[in-house]
Amino acid sequence: MIQETKNEWATKNWAAYKERYNSIDFDRSSRQERIEIKESRAGVPTVRVMSSNGKWIFLHSSIDPVKEAQKIADSVSSDPGKIIVIYGFALGYLVEALLETTDKRNLLFIIEPDYDLFCAAMAARDLHHIIDSERVHVLVSNLPGEIRTNFFLLYDETKYDDIVMTGLSGHQTVYPTTYHELVPLIKDAVDAKLFNLVTMIKIGPDAAKNALLNMVDYCTHPGVSSLYGRLAGVPAIIVSAGPSLNKNIHLLKAAKGKAVILAVGTALKALKKWDIEPDFVFSIDPQDLNYELHFKGLNTEKVALVSEIQANHMIVANHQGPIFVSGDMPIVKWFGEGIESKGKLESGGSVANNAFAAAYKMGANPIILVGQDLAYSREGHSHAAGTNYENQVYSLDENSEFFPVKANDGGYILTDRSFHQFLLFFQIWIETYPEREYINATEGGAFIQGTKLMTLQEVLDQHCQNAVDVEKIIKEAQVDFNIPNMEPILETIKLRLKDTNNMIAEANKAIRYLSQLERACESRQAKKMQQYLKAVNKITGKFEKDQYICEVAEWFVRNDVHKVMTRTHKAVRSENDEYSNAIADYTLYYKKIIEGLKAIKDLLQQCMEKIGSDIDNGK
């Protein structure tokens, strides 16, 4: 009877887990010899685990695990606006208690580092009510990269103003490694989120603008996915523009034709000065300076460009060699299956990250980093000679934004938060995909966990001895691509223009209703208040359900939207929020969205004119 109940619990729990996390079934053939589910004195299950030193450790109280969990939960703040990070799921008692004691708007993020323990728990108790809860996110993993990525995706800085850490003391004893890594991982995830926010505020409008201006080229050039697997087993050298590039840039000429050379745009001028033609150059930055400083005036006939859809449109428009495109910005969704999948290159914010992901997906092995300092030289330089930043020198001892990280030479070197985010991307990728060989031939800069340190000359001697015709591979990928019929794409753009005009009209109506709502509130006309509030909510619902335009419009006004959302969530948590403040916030939101919508309208009209002209000219 007991076994039947356990089987029912397991079936029910795993079904809930699969549905909630869209997850395939775990391999449940766990090693149960190191895990014991026992009955506590209170008559409910508890669990003990054998630690690495051979000792048995109870993760919950052997007397009353429910009472113990309640005591821990009572010590955690119940105020709203928090993400509560819980180290250790075990049998779920602490999660249950926190669901009862903390504010219903708080999120619980649980890390269970022991896969076998989680499998045992799923058969020990009925847990589906925990798994089903939208307030709960359970991550079963001890991988630092996976923990960081999951928290990054969950954390919303507009909703949460505090992060609270709690957990089971037994977990800290049995699984100390993951526990000691946890705080730095959470901090890294928050830093990454804030870095993304600052980046979006800075370049969001340019990114949205250039994505729309690049739409025709995006449709009419092959995607980077057409190169996937074509360079299997070929060594790839990714050339970045860090100051250590000065030490070995002269050796790269010998790698041409023996490896595939992928350069970031910042390094292109430096390579040209040494008469080195990379096989690929990558571009992601939408700002005008990206074109003006790194590409303008260069002969790029022999270099293939891999451009993200939001990269500065002048780079794409003026490139003389082959072009491949990538990216998955919201506007790509507008066309559904009308445009082939171009391929996505993951990134931590640096174009070198994109090149690294591309090399992996092309099948390259080993993948070699050159000029990838991810830090400042000890003389204060951030970039190599020959780049537009070669004369920039930073006073490293006068700025608290710099902090030390392990260096490739065994000492320490100063980096900043931006460089550190790029470094973390490399480390997480290598941790996730360890089957390739990753070599750091930077000969300076920050240490990247998971890479093998070699000089570039050693790399050339050991890995770059066989000829490889990269130009032929590029040509084959280009020839295999068929330019789509642009007329259906033009029709889709016309529909999006119509949607944009409709949303401008709806936003203007919302502003009028909000003004009328404010007057009704001031005069305490309850019936009219309900009428105008209902009208505003109806329009807000349309914007929330929109699949095409609204998200892109917000890119143009990210800073203002972020401020409004932050104030709105804060007001929801407050007991003293004034109606006038809420009306002012929503009015500002719609005014700013109209600015973004008008920008989209102008750019869509430019796209239509270009496509129409190409169709008329038979292109």
**Please, what are the averages of pLDDT over each run of 10 residues along the chain (619 residues)?**
65 90 64 86 94 92 95 91 94 96 94 93 92 94 90 89 91 91 89 82 89 92 97 97 93 96 95 96 95 94 96 96 92 84 92 97 98 84 61 59 89 90 94 96 95 97 96 96 89 93 96 92 88 92 89 88 77 67 88 95 91 71
Measured CA to CA, the distance from residue 354 to residue 227 in angstroms comes to 14
Contacts 24+ apart (CB under 8 A), 140-144: 140/26, 140/89, 140/112, 140/115, 141/111, 141/112, 141/113, 142/113, 142/114, 142/175, 142/177, 142/178, 143/431, 143/432, 144/178, 144/181, 144/185, 144/428, 144/431
Question: What Rg value do the Cα atoms of the chain yield, rounded?
Answer: 28
* pLDDT computed for residue 332 by the predictor: 87
Helix (H, G, I), strand (E, B) or coil at 416: coil
**Where are the CATH 3.40.50 domain residues in the chain?**
2-194
According to DSSP H, which parts of 274-377 are helical? 288-294, 313-318, 351-361
Measured CA to CA, the distance from residue 319 to residue 303 in angstroms comes to 9
* pLDDT computed for residue 173 by the predictor: 92
- The residues pairing with 283 across neighbouring beta strands, listed in sequence order, are 307
Here the tokens at position 560 are 């203002």
Q: Supply the pTM of this predicted model.
A: 0.81
Backbone angles phi, psi at 436, to 5 degrees: -90, 165
Contacts 24+ apart (CB under 8 A), 151-157: 151/85, 151/109, 151/185, 151/186, 151/189, 152/189, 152/192, 152/193, 154/83, 154/107, 154/109, 155/83, 155/189, 155/190, 155/193, 157/190, 157/193, 157/194, 157/197, 157/566
Q: Which CATH number is 2-194 given?
A: 3.40.50
Q: Cα 266–269–272 angle (5° rounding)?
A: 140
* pLDDT computed for residue 1 by the predictor: 41
* pLDDT computed for residue 204 by the predictor: 87
* pLDDT computed for residue 398 by the predictor: 52
* pLDDT computed for residue 5 by the predictor: 64
- The residues pairing with 367 across neighbouring beta strands, listed in sequence order, are 236, 438
For 177, counting Cβ atoms within 10 Å of its Cβ (0-12 exposed, 13-18 middle, 19+ buried), the class is exposed
